[in-house]
Amino acid sequence: MDAIEFPEEGMDHETVLDAMRTLRDDDIKWHDNRAFSLVFHKSDEHGKFLKEAHNMFSEGNGLNPMAFASLRTFEHEVIRMTADLLNGDDQTVGAMTSGGTESIMLAVKTYRDRARKVMPWIKKPEIIIPDSAHVAFNKAGKYFDVQMIPAPLNKDFRVDVGAVKRLITPNTIALVGSAPDCPSGVIDPIQDLAILAEKHGIGLHVDCCIGGFLLPFLEELGYAIPPFDFRIPGVTSISADLHKYGYAAKGASTILYRSMDYMRYQFFVCVDWPGGVYASPSMPGTRPGGTIAAAWATLKTMGRSGYLENACVVMDTTRRFTEGINAIPGLKVLGNPPASVFAYTTTDTSLNCYVVADYMAERGWHIDRQQKPASIHLMINPGHATIVDAYLEDLTAAVTFNRENPDAAVSGSAPAYGLIANAPARSLVASNVLKMMEDLYSAKGTLPQLSGDAGPAVPGFIIKLMKLKSRMDRFLKR
């Protein structure tokens, strides 16, 4: 790669824009509805409206609500509308964030700081999370020195409440449930978790980042959605993403608390800085005005009727996908997901889920592979209604190809994903993934790939795993 230096002279606008368009050609083809994550696109018309709303306030800064009173109004009303949607009351409070990860991290920080105040004897705080909880909780634990205690799942992929009960210790400061979780799309037993939380005088955070702007409308349409929000007394906080099924511009999320008794521990205040008194409600200093404004504009322009209409389309499309996948011999949708987020896996020992994924990827689909168990993940949006038949046709061909080519499991990226998912030495996996991250963010900016002929770090990684697996197999045969 050629050395990149700071430009001596500026380029004209059109030349720069042309360069950006060229680089964009290598991105995933989300606009062709070939991707099932990362982008939540309602329609081109809505996207154009979002850009107009965003651009109108693109230079605004939510850091100072007194200087930008418009942004403060937008954020306040977004929180009030979200609280109403999730059955909060006039005591419910919250703030907008940059995304679900920030919302979750703020919740963890809040429960930690609250525990320092009301449970000062706790020196090593713990939060119990389902095995399926979003990895942002683990990230928050690393950042804020809070131990995340994983609880196992039942066969239906929901957290085992009995196991959660047994894991509670004097160091437990909060519990977590998902509505729905990301890997399989099921809703944890929030009511049962809330009973436990109240009994032990601790908080319960509901990760509703995916479902916050979908589940309420599914419930209104008559779908069997169990209670998951502030209707349940033990629920003390909820995270809900606006830029997922809320269809706002990225990155926009919300973190809500039952009352200021909790949220006050989220704030940061410094009164001794030479630059003046400083107060912040969330992690960033500068808070982009465009995303705040676009979120408000989205809720106002879609309204309840718009979200209900969207939910109908999304669920009808989801039904076509799940019925079609279950109709293919050797494939099955995992669990019984109530919404439009789900995963499917292979049920025939002659099939390899990652071979099926490779085949689909070669035909232009952006495939999200999962582990524990090996599966393929989908999140359905309105645009996917136009490609259901094409996807199922390619998926049927992928299964046929796998049956006719059993050796495909040792080519392409299938062995890499299989070994990574099943490697017994997880520290070896972690250290090599860390090496890939170092390469990606190095001065050279090497882009790694999980395939047999990828950059130099990956083949060595796979070779190490294959040797380790071979040694383990020989040991077990003794």
**Domain ranges, residue 457:** 423-477
- Mapped onto helix, strand or coil, the DSSP state of residue 299 is helix
Q: Mean of the pLDDT values across residues 106-114? A: 97
**Residue 469's pLDDT is what?**
46
Whether the link from the prior residue into 170 is cis, omega within 30° of 0, is: no
* Same domain flag for 443 and 394: no
* Same domain flag for 256 and 363: no
* Same domain flag for 262 and 376: no
Residue 392 has pLDDT above 90, yes or no: yes
Rounded to 10 degrees, the C-alpha dihedral 274/275/280/283 comes to: -90
* Same domain flag for 310 and 295: no
Q: Tell me if 41 is assigned to some domain.
A: no
* Same domain flag for 139 and 265: yes
Mean residue pLDDT of the chain comes to 87
Q: What gap in Å lies between CA 13 and CA 265, rounded to an integer?
A: 45
Residue 362 token pair: 């070669």
* Same domain flag for 295 and 312: no
DSSP string, 9-35: SPPPHHHHHHHHHHHHTTS--GGGT-B
**H or E element at residue 242:** none
Q: What gap in Å lies between CA 49 and CA 59, rounded to an integer?
A: 18
* Same domain flag for 60 and 132: yes
Answer for the pair 162, 182: CB distance below 8 angstroms, yes or no.
no
Q: Tell me if 6 is assigned to some domain.
A: no
Q: Mean of the pLDDT values across residues 174-202? A: 97
* Same domain flag for 333 and 290: no
Number of structural domains the chain divides into: 3
* Same domain flag for 285 and 317: no
Domain closes at, from 248, 268, 299: 299
Answer for the pair 138, 145: CB distance below 8 angstroms, yes or no.
no
* Same domain flag for 186 and 257: yes
Binned at pLDDT 50, 70 and 90, residue 443 comes out as low
Q: Mean of the pLDDT values across residues 175-191? A: 96
Nearest to 121 by CA among 168, 175, 165, 170: 170
Q: Tell me if 414 is assigned to some domain.
A: no
Q: Tell me if 112 is assigned to some domain.
A: yes
Q: What gap in Å lies between CA 211 and CA 185, rounded to an integer?
A: 9
Which residue's structure tokens are 């009973």? 195
Residue 24 token pair: 């964009």
Q: Which residue has the higher pLDDT, 357 or 420?
A: 357
Task: Give the ranges where 338-387 is alpha helix by DSSP (H).
Answer: 353-362
Q: Tell me if 313 is assigned to some domain.
A: yes
**Residue 31's pLDDT is what?**
81
> What are the pLDDT digits (tens) for 122-151?
999 999 999 999 999 999 999 999 999 999
**Residue 432's pLDDT is what?**
67
Q: Mean of the pLDDT values across residues 261-281? A: 90
What CATH number is associated with residue 94?
Answer: 3.40.640.10
Q: Mean of the pLDDT values across residues 168-193? A: 97
Residue 466 has pLDDT above 80, yes or no: no
pTM for the whole structure: 0.87
* Same domain flag for 226 and 123: yes
Count of beta carbons in the 10 Å neighbourhood of residue 371: 14
Q: Tell me if 2 is assigned to some domain.
A: no
Q: Tell me if 353 is assigned to some domain.
A: yes
Binned at pLDDT 50, 70 and 90, residue 257 comes out as very high
Residue 460 has pLDDT above 60, yes or no: no
**Residue 97's pLDDT is what?**
95
Domain closes at, from 350, 383, 408: 408
**H or E element at residue 278:** strand 278-280
Amino acid at residue number 175: L
> What are the pLDDT digits (tens) for 149-175?
999 999 999 999 999 999 999 999 999
Out of 78-87, 159-168, 195-204, 439-448, pick the least confident.
439-448
**Residue 448's pLDDT is what?**
58
Q: What gap in Å lies between CA 241 and CA 341, rounded to an integer?
A: 15
Q: Tell me if 377 is assigned to some domain.
A: yes
**Residue 453's pLDDT is what?**
34
> What are the pLDDT digits (tens) for 404-440?
988 776 555 544 555 456 555 566 666 766 776 676 6
Residue 229 has pLDDT above 80, yes or no: yes
Rounded to 10 degrees, the C-alpha dihedral 449/452/457/461 comes to: 120
Answer for the pair 128, 170: CB distance below 8 angstroms, yes or no.
no
Domain closes at, from 408, 431, 454: 408
What CATH number is associated with residue 311?
Answer: 3.90.1150.10
**Residue 198's pLDDT is what?**
97
Amino acid at residue number 37: S
* Same domain flag for 150 and 170: yes
**H or E element at residue 379:** strand 375-379
pLDDT over 90 percentage in the chain = 67
**Residue 24's pLDDT is what?**
87
